[in-house]
Amino acid sequence: MLNSTAQHSTAQHSTALAQLITKLKEIFQINQADLDFGIYRILNSRSTEINQFLEHNLPKKIRATIQDFNQETVVYNHLYTFFSRYYDNGDFISQRRYKNDTYAIPYSGEEVMLHWANKDQYYTKSGENFSNYAFHLPNGKKVQFRLIEADTAKDNRKDNDQTRLFVLAEPQIKIELDENGDEIQTDILPIEELGDKLIVHFEYKAVNKKEKQADYIDQAVTFLQKFAFQHQDFLQLFDLVPTEKDQSRTLVKKHLQDYTTKNTADYFIHKNLGKFLNQELDFYIKNEVMNLDDIQQETTFSSIEQNLNLIKTLKTIGQEIIAFLAQLEDFQKKLWLKKKFVTGCHYLITLDHLSEDLIEQTLQNPKQLEQWKALFNVDASGAIVSEFCKNQPHLVVDTSLFDAVFQAKVLSEIENLDEQTDGLLIHSDNFQALNLLQERYKEQVKCIYIDPPYNTNASEIIYKNGYKHSSWMSLLETRIMISKNLLSEQGLIAIAIDGLEFSNLEILSKEIFGKDNFINSLSVQHNPKGREKEFFADSHEYMIFISKDRNKAETNRLLLTSDELDRKYPKKENGKQYRELPLRRSGSEAQRKDRPYMYFPFLVNKETLQLNLLPEEEYKKIFVNSIFNDKYVEELKNKYENEGFYFVLPIRSNGSEGRWRWGYSSCIEGINNRYLFAKSDGNNTVIYQKDYADNTVLPKSFWFGERYDASTKGTNLLKSIIPNNKFDYPKSIYLVEDAISISASNNHLILDYFAGSGTTAHAVINLNREDNGKRKYILVEQGEYFDTVLKPRIQKVIYSEKWKDGKPEQGDKGYNGVSQIVKVLKLESYEDTLNNLELRKPVQDLADLGLSENVQNDYLLHYMLDVESKGSLLNTQDFQKPFDYQLNIATTSAGAYQPQHIDLVETFNYLIGLRVEQFDDKREKGIVSVIGKLPNGEKAFILWRDMEKIGYDELNRYLDSRSIKAGDSEFDLIYINGDHNIPTVFADNDDIVKTLKVRSIESEFLERMFG
């Protein structure tokens, strides 16, 4: 029977072990058995093996190393302390401590170093998940969870006694300020029924740390239950969706669990968790286990040996746990960095690019006619093709409204497709889009303009752990860093920001690009009225300009507006504008001694005011051997005044000798070309220069005026194009135009990966209208308004320059439309990747193979996820029928997934960086070919075929028809899917051996997607 001391020791041991296992289950995320999405679904499928490792293998290994019962408890406590310290609600945060609350950060001797809590992590949270989680009931009714408030800690303090949870909103009146500073009042109810849609409002607010999200979910369920019994259409919310743990779980509870978990977990993925935790474990052991501070105290050999054994065990077990965690984190990083599939591709193309045959097909499509009526107020019913082509050359055809054959026909008729394409719109998370564009657009972008979320209450980054600014900086850092690769050596990036994050952004941008490449930070008065705040009325924001390489950076002067031009150059002569400038220099270095040869007289005829200069021999005698000959000047004065001239010297207002701004030779030229003239009242004669207009000006560091008013030139402008849109505070179109004009010329590429309402594309189109430029644009946006605001805005401004109440207006040049080809892509999301992932267990269990426990552990800790997911993310066997390749893609933000065809052809083009020249799409016959240039300049031929339709014989006949064979091909490289019998070696009549480079699409695809 155990004595009381032994009983106490046993209890401590059991508590320590249970505490550690509970913490590790939380870290391994297998304590969320009710969640069936993302990484939770994957780990729950292996919960048995993980539990076996935590509850059996881990304690067994520790006992085998340490025989002392109390020492074993110490190991459990240390492991719990260590992992609790660095793990914080789903993330691993650098919290290295020397003593108590004293922290250390990595430092390599830099003069200034920027550090933030999440610096070593990818920010992965999609902002859309917070605001727009939706799902459909079996009866077709839609339910949406919408976030209306994100309560934040004042000054980002940690509020250690509080946590933030999703709570059903209380009835409230919400008051906001619009761009003019006027109050907008909105009534917010917990539940709002709009037709077939039920909106449930939530707040993300601070509550007592002891409270749990599960309790608030139950409160919401109870509230919705009362509502549903009064509104029978929504009773299906309470259909049972049971789990082993919760047999009474309802559909609405399942979605609430998914919603709250998606929005409070998995914000970050560590860039190198294994290295980070192993370094921290070493630091922890040296500072808190070795007891170095007590090293001088009396110790025995046995105590030292015991302590070393403890340290060895702690390090060995800690490293095993770290290996498992690193496997999980590295696997998620692999999924995050994986290039994403193109899930949809269509084009917006003006009629002037289409043949009459294609236009006739267009006029027979009711969906297209309906869109033309809705967007452009154009009724095309009964139109005659030839007249329609002539009268509506810039009407935009949307190929998403047609079948695949129509789009294939359109693309086949366009030579040099990529060169002719004016814009690229990508509906995607911006990091994923930028990642896919790396090969295709490396160092080709001249100007990046972005207007990221400001992190204010109106555009807040929802955060956890109290790291509001750190989350925002991680979001910006990874995206700016990856976009830097796309910027040309001469390129600039312009970033709009307000005062809250301005200082952080300035330091961050200098760290990414180098402080020597910083150009300037501008102040922009975007709200002349000012928005009232506690101490000042805010009326300005900022814009940061930074270069890829300041020594190679190219910038442009800004064009003056017509009003500015008239103010600066008020006079006109022969159609030219000019201003009158006194020729005598003012300001610095304006004295005779500063430029002696610029001190000489003008001779002005007293009757005609005609200008003359001294003969050159007289001019040269005024200043000889570094000495002024004032006596000679006086003699000249008397001489010429007696001959009827005003003798005009550059005498300053204080009576001292000055100088002219031009030299003797330049003044002769100015007189001959009538650039110089005199004015005289008889007592005072002044020489003037006609300064003809330069319609450009060096950009100033303060931009102000009606031109930059975000209300009239942003919000109101957008409303005139798309009335009743719900987009908040778009930038002034002129602000974006000027930022682009400074950074790019009329044939450059502009990128915006926080595209919002599409102002950047609008600005590029406007600039091209003005100077017939060929600027191109890439816009990336993930918001739901991509389809409701951004895309229709671009369609509209292509068609017409002016709009009112959503309808086009004609000006002096009619609608002044522009010719455009715009490509529209939709990409797979990170959550799509997670939810298509499946783990496939080995055919035979490892234990049944007779493998040792150590080998089984090694597999579990290091290899399980990679091995068992193989083929799930990209199964190249499916490339035998590439046009049938499918993934489950989210149709709503809730993750309602349905099978959707994946465009492997487009995806591969971007993976290899192909500049498409010709696109021959005959997938209905089983074959698609693409011709283009690779980044290294090689000409490539890419051939995709359905191998059930196109066998060896059909393939060879097709290649012969394209004159593609070894030794006689215009192509440097051929890519083809599946097995083939294409000869790659050929000997000509002179026995000269030639080769044809043929590569497998499958192997290249696999390497590029994960490379």
Q: What is the DSSP string of 907-940?
A: HHHHHTT-EEEEEEEEGGGTEEEEEEE-TTS-EE
**pLDDT over 70 at 440, yes or no:** yes
Both tokens assigned to 649: 């010297």
Both tokens assigned to 927: 């074959």
CB 63 within 8 A of CB 83: no
d(CA 749, CA 751): 7
CA quadruple 896, 899, 900, 905: dihedral sign: positive
Looking at residues 488-517, what average pLDDT do you find? Answer: 95
Task: Give 991's pLDDT tier (boundaries 50, 70, 90).
Answer: low
**pLDDT over 50 at 157, yes or no:** no
CB 818 within 8 A of CB 395: no
Task: Give 45's pLDDT tier (boundaries 50, 70, 90).
Answer: confident
d(CA 237, CA 377): 41
Looking at residues 942-952, what average pLDDT do you find? Answer: 93
Q: Any bridge partners for residue 427, and if so which?
A: 781, 826
Coil vs helix vs strand at 902: coil
Run of H or E residues at 1008: helix 1001-1010
CA quadruple 395, 396, 402, 406: dihedral sign: positive
CA quadruple 131, 460, 96, 69: dihedral sign: negative
The pLDDT tens digits of the residues spanning 897-933 come to 788 999 999 999 999 999 999 999 999 999 999 999 9
Cα 462 vs. chain centroid, distance in angstroms?
17
CB 599 within 8 A of CB 650: yes
d(CA 499, CA 539): 11
Q: Which residues contact 121 (CB under 8 A, 6 or more apart)?
A: 91, 92, 268, 269, 270, 271, 474
pLDDT at residue 112, as a whole number: 80
- The residue count of the chain comes to 1011
CB 677 within 8 A of CB 578: no
pLDDT at residue 153, as a whole number: 40
Between 561 and 236, the more confident residue is: 236
pLDDT at residue 465, as a whole number: 60
Q: Any bridge partners for residue 920, and if so which?
A: 929
Backbone φ and ψ of 645, nearest 5°:
-115, 145
Q: Report how far apart, in Å, the C-alpha atoms of 52 and of each of 56, 420, 845 are.
A: 5, 60, 14
Looking at residues 145-167, what average pLDDT do you find? Answer: 62
Tokens 């690009």 found at: 513
Looking at residues 505-512, what average pLDDT do you find? Answer: 95
d(CA 455, CA 508): 15
**pLDDT over 90 at 288, yes or no:** no
d(CA 974, CA 914): 12
Mean pLDDT is lowest, of 51-65, 264-278, 351-365, 890-904, for: 890-904
CB 333 within 8 A of CB 270: yes
DSSP output for 65-98: H---HHHHHHHHHHHHHHHHHHEETTEE----EE
Backbone φ and ψ of 518, nearest 5°:
-70, 130
Q: Which residues contact 649 (CB under 8 A, 6 or more apart)?
A: 599, 600, 601, 633, 657
For residue 677, count other CB atoms closer than 10 A to its CB. 18
d(CA 350, CA 362): 12
Both tokens assigned to 933: 């240039």
The pLDDT tens digits of the residues spanning 792-816 come to 999 999 999 999 999 999 988 899 9
Coil vs helix vs strand at 928: strand
Task: Give 115's pLDDT tier (boundaries 50, 70, 90).
Answer: confident
Cα 195 vs. chain centroid, distance in angstroms?
35
Per cent of the chain over pLDDT 70 is 89
Between 796 and 992, the more confident residue is: 796
- What are the helix (H) ranges across 744-840? 759-771, 785, 791-799, 830-836
Number of alpha carbons in the 13 Å side-chain half-sphere of residue 67:
1
Coil vs helix vs strand at 340: coil
The pLDDT tens digits of the residues spanning 388-438 come to 888 999 999 999 999 999 999 999 999 999 999 999 999 999 999 999 999
Both tokens assigned to 270: 């560590």
Residue-averaged pLDDT of the chain: 87
Both tokens assigned to 509: 């941008």
Amino acid at 667: C
The pLDDT tens digits of the residues spanning 456-480 come to 766 666 665 667 888 899 999 999 9
Both tokens assigned to 796: 């509209």
CB 613 within 8 A of CB 619: yes
Task: Give 599's pLDDT tier (boundaries 50, 70, 90).
Answer: very high
CA quadruple 124, 128, 134, 135: dihedral sign: negative
Mean pLDDT is lowest, of 104-118, 180-194, 256-270, for: 180-194
Mean pLDDT is lowest, of 14-18, 256-260, 461-465, 866-870, for: 461-465
d(CA 38, CA 335): 11
Q: Which residues contact 214 (CB under 8 A, 6 or more apart)?
A: none
CB 358 within 8 A of CB 413: yes
Between 961 and 615, the more confident residue is: 615
Coil vs helix vs strand at 487: strand
Tokens 């320059």 found at: 801
CB 829 within 8 A of CB 38: no
The pLDDT tens digits of the residues spanning 667-690 come to 999 999 999 999 998 889 999 999
pLDDT at residue 967, as a whole number: 53
Amino acid at 998: V
Q: Any bridge partners for residue 703, and if so which?
A: 524
CB 425 within 8 A of CB 787: no
Run of H or E residues at 623: strand 623-624
Q: Report how far apart, in Å, the C-alpha atoms of 179 and of each of 460, 532, 728, 847 are.
A: 17, 11, 9, 67
Angle at 29 between CA 25 and CA 35, to 5 degrees: 125
**pLDDT over 70 at 895, yes or no:** no
Mean pLDDT is lowest, of 102-111, 277-286, 292-301, 567-576, for: 292-301
Run of H or E residues at 419: helix 417-420
Q: Any bridge partners for residue 132, and if so which?
A: none
Between 254 and 1, the more confident residue is: 254
Mean pLDDT is lowest, of 219-233, 288-302, 412-426, 959-973, for: 288-302
Coil vs helix vs strand at 448: strand
For 233-269, the three-class secondary structure string (H helix, E strand, C coil) is HHHHHHCECCCCCCCCCEHHHHHHHHHHHHCCCCCEE
pLDDT at residue 992, as a whole number: 57
DSSP structure class, residue 584: B
Looking at residues 743-758, what average pLDDT do you find? Answer: 96
Longest dimension (CA), the chain: 136
